[in-house]
Amino acid sequence: MITVTLFLMLGFSIGAGIASTRDQAQMDERFEALKSRAPDVSITVFSPAFSCIPFQVYGEYLCLLLERINIRKVDLAEESFYPSIDAPFSEVDSAFTAFVQENPVSTDYALFGEYVAPMADSTAAIRTFLVDGRGNAVWTDERPTDVEDFRRIGAEGTDGAALLLAGKLGASLGLPDPRRADAPEGRWAAYFAEKTGTPLRSEVAPLDGRVTVLRKVFKDSELVIFTIMLNEKTDRQSASDLAQILNESKLCSARVAPAETLFELDMSGDATRMLWDFARKFRSRAKENGLDADYQLYAHYYFFENSEGEEAVGLVLIVLCDRKGEWVAVDGQSERTQGFREVSPKTTFDCNRLVAERLKFYSTPQKVVGIGVIIKRDDFGHLMITRILEKGPAAEVGLEVNDVITKVDGQEIKDLTLMETVSRITGAAGTKVTLTIRRGTETMDYAITRREVVFE
């Protein structure tokens, strides 16, 4: 009895959660029933509340995380549950139970989270309430949090709170970590891909293999270039000039498509959304009306007026598809990328030179000085290692695919772009770089000596 009273006072939970005034044995029984069925269950998520106010965007993100721990069906409730201001845990617990009893859900279970007492970069506590479809309590949890909790998972604020919530629930049910690289992509993943304009992981995963094929066959392949887009117009002459550059450099056999193609693009969005919007539209065009060629290319050169009133190049978007219309390379170049800075394009001819250089990059083995890894941003914006060159420096020290890079030479990289991080990792041969790696729940440092490596 003393032990139970202590847990209630501190607000911690173990096993099936805080019993409050309920029959703990019944909660344990319901939780074990859930555990025996998980992940083959359905859950309705009520949007989590921050400072007592529920936000739909928090609910959408929590739905995504539950999908990533393999919950079979996750719905977002249309109505919201509002906890009382500064209400103690037991009061919110009882109120949510009563709310679901009065408003039954069509799924097996209903879930509500509350992120309380905000601080600068974390929340002071995360509360979780899980009931069955009739409102009977199944599992509750209240966990105090601090900055170290959020640093451990590499996320902050309400996103970090949702990760901690979903991770704790998943671990209690014996389900996998929502952050893992091979998490399933269901309707919530598709929803976020459409919302953010970024592709699904399953869409881009085959690109490395297609580039490997490209490097073996591109020199003997025929490439059709669709008319170049200059802002909102097409420029057939630029396409002809690009074909001439490629033919003279003997990268491939290039020709211009017989008909012009113009896509409507939202030029007011961010560059990433523009790139993938452009890529999707060209992929659809290439699949539906592909021409008789091994590869198909479309490029878009975006010009703007700079602060000095001069015309300048802001973006160069490049999409290369194979004969079937599948993506081989999707490339966005701007002043933040090394390739763009090396060419420093000022005119359409310069942009053509940049496209030719990028095609050369994709179609020929690359010798670089580095550590022998390829990195990308994962579903949570973390920089993850996706490929390690066999017998390269990274492989020799023990780095692994799906390792997450958190620091380079002791500096946090969460606010750096992908290209900025790459520039810090690369350097002169014989010099060393120290990467801080997160692998699961462990964090470790690796000192790696750079040298020349070749990516086939």
- What mean pLDDT do residues 397-422 have? 85
Q: Which residues make Cβ contacts (< 8 Å) with residue 322, sequence separation at least 6?
A: 210, 294, 295, 296, 328
Whether 189 and 251 share a structural domain: no
Closest CA to 385 of 396, 375, 399: 375
CATH number at residue 258: 3.40.50
Please give the Cα distance from 318 to 327 (Å, whole number): 11
Average pLDDT over residues 154-161: 82
Band the pLDDT of 33: cuts 50, 70, 90.
Answer: very high
Looking at the fold, whether 110 and 128 belong to one and the same domain comes out as: yes
- Mean pLDDT check: name the lowest of 52-56, 122-126, 133-137: 122-126
339 lies in the same domain as 443: no
Q: What percent of the chain has pLDDT over 70?
A: 92
**pLDDT at residue number 13:** 34
Q: In the listed set 364, 392, 417, which residue is the last one of a domain according to the structure?
A: 364
Cα–Cα nearest to 412, from 388, 444, 435? 435
Single-letter residue type at 383: L
Same domain, 252 and 396: no
pLDDT of 229 reads 84
Indicate whether 368 pLDDT > 60. yes
> Does residue 46 surpass a pLDDT of 60?
yes
In angstroms, the CA 322 to CA 159 distance is 38
Number of domains the chain is built from: 3
Residue 231 has pLDDT above 90, yes or no: no
The pLDDT of residue 5 is: 23
Pick the more confident residue, 157 or 192.
192
Same domain, yes or no, for 184 and 212? no
% the chain with pLDDT above 90: 57
Rounded-to-integer distance, Cα 46 and Cα 44, Å? 7
Residue 259: pLDDT band (50, 70, 90) is confident
- pLDDT at site 11: 30
Residue 337 has pLDDT above 90, yes or no: no
Task: Say yes or no to pLDDT of 440 above 80.
Answer: no
CA angle 379, 411, 122 (to 5 degrees): 55
Same domain? For 257 and 385 the reply is no
CB 439 within 8 A of CB 382: no
Among the listed residues 284, 299, 224, 223, the one whose alpha carbon sits nearest the alpha carbon of residue 259: 224
Are 341 and 423 in the same domain? Answer: no
User: Does the structure show a pLDDT above 80 at 121?
Assistant: no
Task: Categorize the per-residue pLDDT at 155 as very low, low, confident or very high, splitting at 50, 70 and 90.
Answer: confident
Residue 123's pLDDT is 55
Closest to 199 in 3D by CA, of 323, 87, 330:
330
Pairing type for strands 451-455 and 366-370 reads antiparallel
**Residues 6+ positions from 13 with CB-CB distance below 8 Å:** 7, 140, 141, 142, 143
pLDDT at 2: 28
**Residues 377 and 350 placed together within one structural domain of the fold:** no
Greater confidence (121 vs 256) lies with 256
Q: Could you read off the pLDDT of 70-82 as tens digits, one per residue?
A: 999 999 999 999 9
Query: Is the per-residue pLDDT at 21 higher than 60?
Result: no
Range of the domain at 177: 2-196
pLDDT at residue 49, as a whole number: 95
Domain-terminating residue out of 346, 364, 382 = 364
- Tell me: do 215 and 137 sit in the same domain: no
Q: What local confidence, expressed as pLDDT, does residue 10 receive?
A: 26
When the pLDDT of each residue in the chain is averaged and rounded to a whole number, the result is 87
Boundary (domain end) residue, out of 335, 364, 393: 364
3-class secondary structure per residue, 152-212:
HHCCCHHHHHHHHHHHHHHHHCCCCCCCCCCCCCCHHHHHHHHHHCCCCHHHHCCHHHHHH
pTM: 0.77
pLDDT at 37 (0 to 100):
95
Cα–Cα nearest to 141, from 11, 5, 42: 11
CATH number of the domain within which 117 lies:
3.90.950
Q: Which two tokens stand for residue 411?
A: 């500096």
Q: How confident is the model at residue 309 (pLDDT cuts 50, 70, 90)?
A: confident
Contacts of 46 (CB under 8 A, 6+ apart): 54, 59, 77, 79, 80, 81, 96, 110, 111, 112
Band the pLDDT of 268: cuts 50, 70, 90.
Answer: low
With a cut of 90, say whether residue 201 has pLDDT above it: no
290 lies in the same domain as 352: yes
Question: Which pair of tokens denotes residue 99?
Answer: 């709310």
Mean pLDDT of the region 387-399: 90
Q: Are residues 358 and 448 in the same domain?
A: no
pLDDT range class, residue 7, cuts 50, 70, 90 = very low
Q: Give CA 113 to chain center in angstroms.
A: 23
Specify whether 428 is located in the same domain as 339.
Answer: no
Residue 106: burial class (beta carbons within 10 Å; 0-12, 13-18, 19+): exposed
Output 65 or 309, whichever has higher pLDDT: 65
Is pLDDT of 53 > 70? yes
Beta-carbon contacts of 387 under 8 Å, excluding residues fewer than 6 positions away, are: 208, 373, 374, 401
CATH of the domain at 443: 2.30.42.10
Residue 346: the pLDDT is 95
Instruction: Say whether pLDDT at 18 is over 50.
Output: no
